[in-house]
Structure 1
């Protein structure tokens, strides 16, 4: 029984030494392969995925800015409303020549 217990402790001591030696000599970044190994389609896929993920949210926010901020109502002056109505009436009658040079 004593011999078996000594064998177990010796094996455990060897395991501890192996693990401690490996942890001290471990090189950093072993799990990250260099980019020379992936194929060209994988590189392109990674590039486009990163572009979409980086630019996606700011683009979404910029396109929806009108939904984020409150819409400001603009009211025209009464004189300006009358001028606009007159121009609409003249345009409907065909008497408003926009392309004529003003003298």
Structure 2
């Protein structure tokens, strides 16, 4: 009784799996890299590598142009100390 029911359920699931897998068979389902020559594969790899690394490289080169410029002067205490030391030397 239970074995017959289990067999029917297994047959249904096997049929549905087979029909799902049959959809992906054929030329449309093959990976595109399968029919590419070695030179084309190297070109695609180079294109992907350059496209992934170009923007971070651009940012690293232009960091000084991107961030705001800070003030490049000494504070009042440091200027007073600098003048005091210059007066002591002279």
Q: TM-score, normalised by structure 1?
A: 0.44
The structure where helix makes up a greater share of residues is 2
- The one of the two structures with greater contact order (alpha-carbon pairs below 8 A, sep at least 6) is 2
Q: TM-score, normalised by structure 2?
A: 0.49
